[in-house]
Amino acid sequence: MDILRSLPIGLYLEQPITWLHRLDPRIKLFGLLTFLLSPIQANEPWRIAIAVLLIILTLASQIPMRVWKQQMGILLLLAFMTFAIATFSPDGFNANVQPRRPIPEISNVAAEKALSASPLTLKLPQPTPYSYVVWKAGSITITRRSLDLGVRVCTLIFTYLYAPTLFLLVTAPEEITAALASVLSPLKFLKVPVVEIVLTLTLALRFVPLVLEEVQNLGRAMRTRSINWKRLGFKRTTQIWLILAERLIDNLFIRAEQTASAMQVRGFTTPNTHIVVWNPLKFLPRDLVLLVFLVTMWGLRIWYGNEF
- Looking at the fold, whether 9 and 106 belong to one and the same domain comes out as yes
Query: Could you tell me what percent of the chain has a pLDDT over 90?
Result: 13
Calpha distance 43→56 (Å, rounded)? 20
Cis peptide before 16 (omega within 30 of 0): yes
**Do residue 165 and residue 293 come from a single domain?**
yes
Instruction: Tell me the sheet residues that pair with 42.
Output: 306
Residue 184 lies in a domain: no
User: Does pLDDT of 92 surpass 70?
Assistant: no
In a domain, 186, yes or no: no
Residue 66 lies in domain: 1-94+102-172+282-308
Quick one: 264 and 145 in the same domain? no
Domain assignment of residue 188, yes or no: no
251 and 291 in a single domain? The answer is: no
* Residue at 179 is within a domain: no
Would 117 be classed as within a structural domain? yes
| Domains contained in the chain, number | 2
User: What is the C-alpha separation between 298 and 39, in angstroms, rounded?
Assistant: 11
Judgement on whether residues 140 and 48 belong to the same structural domain of the protein: yes
Cα–Cα dist 101/106, whole Å: 8
Does 183 map to a domain? no
Question: Within this chain, do residues 35 and 65 fall inside the same structural domain, yes or no?
Answer: yes
Whether 114 and 223 map to the same domain: the answer is no
Predicted pLDDT at 278 = 60
Q: In this structure, are 289 and 251 located in the same domain? A: no
Whether 254 and 286 map to the same domain: the answer is no
For residue 215, is it within any domain?
A: yes
Q: 64 and 163 share a domain? A: yes
Residue 130 pLDDT grade (very low, low, confident, very high; cuts 50, 70, 90): low
- 236 shares its domain with 248: yes
Mean pLDDT of 261-269: 76
pTM confidence score: 0.70
The pLDDT score that the predictor gives to residue 1 is 44
Going from the C-alpha of 16 to that of each of 13, 62, 191, the distances in angstroms are 7, 9, 40
Confidence at 53, pLDDT banded by 50, 70, 90: very high
Mean pLDDT of the chain: 79
- Across the range 172-199, mean pLDDT stands at 81
Residue 189, in any domain of the structure: no
Average the pLDDT over each of 103-107, 179-183, 223-227 and give the range with the smallest value. 103-107
pLDDT of residue 123: 55
Judged by average pLDDT, the poorest of 97-106, 217-226, 290-299 is: 97-106
List residues bridging with 143 in a β-sheet: 133
Q: Are residues 126 and 226 in the same domain?
A: no
